Every structure is written in structure tokens, then in C-alpha cells.
Amino acid sequence: MNKFRLSMMSAAVSVVLACSAAAQQKTIEDGVYTTEQADAGQPLYEQRCSACHNADFYRGTLSNRNNQPLAYLFEEILVTMPADMPGSLMDAEYEAILAHILQLTGYPAGDAPLDYASGTMHTVNIVPPKD
């Protein structure tokens, strides 16, 4: 009987810890870029992205990446875009473009800019945009 109680208590603690960890996970709804960064990304987006990718494209892209780290999307953009010269922009330019994409699709700005080098994009999960 004691083993059963111990197993049940262990399972309960595991569930509580898992729920707590999930509740603490940051998402792109938590303001992970600055307005200034998104504003800096707008002309870059218009020059390099908008001819092929509009807000609806990114809504679908973000929906398809539900619960993936934002870093995965950043890395994909970095190595594949712009299509005619992948990887040709500076990291800060890609960060600004991604900030603009988040703003364009309705995610709120925050106090700290997106910064891939810091590793924070690996701790921020993508959630689908609200319609």
C-alpha cells in the first residue's frame, strides 16, 4: 500500500511540475520584440519579402508551427530567404523582419528586442495567430 501511495504522490507531483513548466513557457503573445525593431523591419520586409509573402502567408506559417520555438522559424528564414540570395542579410536585419512579421500578424510588442544570439528565441514558442 505504501508503494501505491508513493507512486500516486510521485505522479501527482510530476503533473503539477509539468503544468507549472507549461504555464511558464513564453510565447510570441508575450511581447518578444520592440515596436522600434518592427518599424525598422518594415522597409526591409517591403523590399525583400512582400512581393511573395503577405500577412496571410505568415498567419498560415505561424499556425503550422504551433508550439515550436521561434528560433526554428528564424533559422529557416535565415537560410532560405530572400529566395534570390539566402543568408545575405545581417542577423539584425532578419530579426527586424521577423519582428515586423509578428507585428503584421497581430502579436504585441514588448520591452526587449528579438535577439537570436542571446538564445532567447529558443525559449519562446510560436502560437497560432488569433483570427
Domain membership of residue 21 (yes or no) is: no
Domain membership of residue 30 (yes or no) is: yes
Amino acid at 67: N
Q: Which residues pair with 124 in a beta bridge?
A: 26
Distance CA 116, CA 118 (A): 5
Distance CA 97, CA 108 (A): 15
Q: What integer is the mean pLDDT of 35-59?
A: 93
60: containing domain? 26-125
Domain membership of residue 1 (yes or no) is: no
Q: Quick one: what percent of the chain has pLDDT higher than 70? A: 81
pTM of the full structure: 0.80
- As given in the structure block, the three cell numbers for residue 13 are 507531483
- As given in the structure block, the three cell numbers for residue 115 are 535577439
Split at pLDDT 50, 70, 90, the class of 125 is very high
